[in-house]
């Protein structure tokens, strides 16, 4: 037994794994902890803990990044389209990076150059867009329910499984933007030990298993274990003696740097700054080394194309905040007593402040539409269909969605007959229709023909027909109309993807010696 203990001790020293601790380093290439040679634009998505961390005299992260040649901007409460800055819990990252609104949010993130916290910024704006995105949830997100070993689930919630699901989904978007460096900052710990083991297990999963389990092929996603750094004076995630060190003592999983509440203290925040910034330099240089041939981190400006007739690179047709706020026209069969009123209203919205409201009373055997004509034909071929959010005065309310296409001389009408889905009378519901769902109107030539000209769309409309023997009466609210799939460009292929690891993998020496560990332990067991 004594011999077994000695062998374990020797192998532990060789691996650099202090008892009860772990270490990680991407030793496959030389680590460079030095600042970038030229200013690099960076944006940090955060709330109060991040604000404290950035603030001069508290966490000093802002001015330390500034001293390391990072031009820092940030978001906070109330920031961005739809006030997305208000939402930074783990499930909210799906709205940021895996929703129909992702193109708008990313466009705003990449072009943000303002400060929403109090920190020194001495560098001049170097121009261009942000190329590094830091994002962090606040400490309540360390209270994850479930069990430490729970596998990824199939929906987002505040459990170990739900959190793993979220981060797995994020990789599907991050893979489409290898020209951007995404830095996951783990949520800080809390003082209550109830869910501490779950928090520790989840953050270890992010560090060591997340990218590997997904066979993630790029080097544009990294993790900084902010949580670990704050759980003990001897707990670290840092560059140390030429290597990346990630150490902790099992069982010490709660906040060791409290303030009046679970916000990390100035001492804990400054410790995190000292450990994080050299790591960020390493992450940046490693990413750049594998990204020399990648496209620049730029998005086309958001545009409805209503004046130019060009394609919609963002996929956004109308959000009723900046696009689609005017031009809607109500048409009805004027030989009847049909009634329709439509236009953007500010008293109901899925996101932002406004949505399209349509109120109608359509007698039997007649019709009405709420139409948005364009000054020139729109090229919607970048999408696979149309999606939008909907609320209604009742479930099962019949309506149709119309597209007008063809030529300048002759328009053709294509439509989908449908009805409001279950639940839409109580809450906003997302619906979408593929181009294959649209067919040529029966009253026109070639009735029933498929819609095959999304590159020439002259108008979009919502239509309402009277019922067979009664009036069709109700109200509809529409928000955030966009092209399906336009927010998911194909992943860029690169010939320079070497070194694609997360900063959380075992060093090469450790990888080679692990089989030796098991062999020696087996030999020792046989010698007992």
DSSP symbols for 90-138:
GGGHHHHHSSTTHHHHHHHHHH----SS-----SPP-SS---EEEEE--
Query: What confidence score (pLDDT) does residue 313 get?
Result: 56
Which of 218, 214, 246, 212 shows the shortest CA–CA distance to 232? 246
Mean pLDDT of 231-252: 96
Which of 134, 125, 499, 112 shows the shortest CA–CA distance to 288? 499
The fraction of the chain above a pLDDT of 90, given in percent, is: 63
Average pLDDT, the chain: 83
Q: How far apart are CA 99 and CA 106, in angstroms?
A: 11
- Out of 229-233, 234-238, 423-427, pick the least confident: 423-427
Q: How far is the CA of 373 from the CAs of 367, 411, 462, in angstroms?
A: 18, 12, 12
pLDDT at 74 over 60: yes
Q: How far apart are CA 293 and CA 59, in angstroms?
A: 36
Domain boundaries, the chain: 24-299+496-506, 316-483
In a 3-state reduction of DSSP, which class is residue 525? helix
Q: Which two tokens stand for residue 448?
A: 């029933």
Mean pLDDT of 135-150: 96
Please tell me which of 193-197, 381-385, 508-512 the model is most confident about, judged by mean pLDDT.
Answer: 193-197
Asked whether 114 and 75 are in contact (CB, 8 A), the reply is no
- Out of 224-238, 286-300, 450-464, 495-509, pick the least confident: 495-509
Q: Which two tokens stand for residue 335?
A: 């030989």
pLDDT at 478 over 70: yes
Query: What confidence score (pLDDT) does residue 487 get?
Result: 58
What CATH code would you report for 316-483? 2.60.120.430
Please tell me which of 9-13, 199-203, 403-407, 483-487 the model is most confident about, judged by mean pLDDT.
Answer: 199-203
In a 3-state reduction of DSSP, which class is residue 248? coil
Confidence of residue 476 (pLDDT cuts 50, 70, 90): very high
Query: What confidence score (pLDDT) does residue 311 get?
Result: 55
Q: Which two tokens stand for residue 43?
A: 């944006």
Range 185-199 burial, b when 16+ CB lie within 10 A, else e: bbbbbbeeeebbbbb
Rounded to two decimals, the pTM is: 0.56
- Out of 46-60, 200-214, 477-491, 510-524, pick the least confident: 510-524
Looking up tokens 């297990």 gives 201
pLDDT at 505 over 80: no
Query: Which residues, including other chains, have CB under 8 Å from residue 283's CB and lie 6 or more apart?
Result: 181, 183, 222, 503
Residue 368 pairs in a beta bridge with: 332, 464
pLDDT at 333 over 90: no
How many other C-beta atoms are found inside a 10 Å radius of the C-beta of residue 124? 8
Helix (H) or strand (E) holding 289: helix 266-289
Superfamily of chain region 24-299+496-506: SGNH hydrolase (3.40.50.1110)
pLDDT at 29 over 60: no
């Amino acid at each position: 037994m004594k011999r077994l203990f000695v062998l374990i001790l020797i192998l532990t020293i060789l691996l650099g794994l202090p008892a009860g601790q772990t270490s990680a380093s991407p030793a496959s290439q030389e680590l460079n902890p030095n600042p970038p040679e030229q200013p690099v634009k960076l944006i940090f998505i955060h709330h109060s803990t991040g604000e404290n961390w950035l603030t001069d005299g508290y966490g000093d992260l802002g001015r330390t990044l500034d001293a390391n040649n990072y031009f820092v901007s940030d978001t906070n409460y109330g920031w961005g389209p739809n006030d997305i800055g208000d939402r930074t819990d783990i499930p909210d990252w799906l709205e940021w990076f895996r929703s129909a609104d992702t193109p708008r949010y990313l466009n705003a993130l990449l072009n943000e150059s303002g400060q929403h916290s109090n920190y020194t910024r001495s560098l001049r704006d170097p121009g261009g867009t942000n190329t590094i995105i830091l994002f962090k949830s606040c400490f309540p997100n360390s209270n994850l329910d479930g069990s430490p070993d729970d596998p990824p689930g199939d929906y987002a919630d505040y459990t170990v499984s739900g959190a793993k699901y979220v981060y797995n989904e994020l990789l599907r978007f991050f893979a489409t933007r290898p020209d951007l460096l995404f830095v996951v900052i783990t949520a800080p710990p809390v003082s209550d030990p109830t869910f501490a083991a779950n928090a520790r297990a989840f953050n270890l999963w992010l560090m060591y298993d997340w990218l590997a389990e997904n066979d993630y092929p790029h080097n544009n996603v990294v993790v900084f274990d902010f949580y670990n750094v704050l759980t003990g004076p001897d707990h670290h995630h840092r560059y140390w003696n030429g290597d990346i060190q990630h150490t902790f003592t099992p069982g010490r999983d709660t906040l060791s740097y409290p303030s009046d509440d679970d916000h990390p203290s100035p001492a804990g925040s400054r410790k995190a700054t000292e450990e994080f910034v050299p790591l960020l330099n390493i992450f940046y240089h490693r990413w750049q080394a594998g990204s020399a041939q990648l496209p620049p981190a730029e998005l086309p400006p958001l545009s409805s194309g209503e004046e130019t007739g060009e394609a919609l690179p963002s996929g956004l047709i109308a959000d009723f905040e900046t696009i689609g706020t005017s031009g809607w026209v109500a048409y009805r069969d004027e030989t009847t007593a049909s009634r329709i009123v439509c236009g953007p209203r500010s008293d109901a919205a899925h996101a932002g402040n406004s949505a399209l409201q349509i109120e109608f009373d359509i007698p039997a055997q007649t019709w009405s539409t709420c139409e948005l004509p364009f000054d020139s034909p729109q090229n919607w071929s970048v999408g696979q269909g149309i999606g939008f959010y909907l609320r209604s005065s009742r479930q099962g309310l019949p309506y149709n969605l119309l597209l007008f296409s063809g030529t300048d001389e002759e328009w053709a009408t294509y439509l989908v007959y449908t009805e409001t889905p279950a639940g839409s009378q109580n809450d906003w519901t997302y619906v979408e229709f593929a181009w294959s769902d649209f067919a040529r109107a029966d009253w026109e030539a070639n009735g029933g023909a498929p819609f095959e000209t999304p590159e020439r769309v002259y108008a979009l409309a919502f239509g309402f027909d009277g019922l067979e023997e009664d009036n069709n009466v109700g109200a509809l609210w529409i928000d955030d109309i966009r092209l399906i799939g336009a927010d998911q460009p194909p992943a860029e292929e690169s010939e320079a993807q070497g070194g694609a690891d997360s900063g959380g993998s075992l060093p090469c020496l450790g990888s080679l010696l692990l089989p030796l560990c098991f062999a020696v332990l087996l030999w020792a067991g046989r010698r007992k």
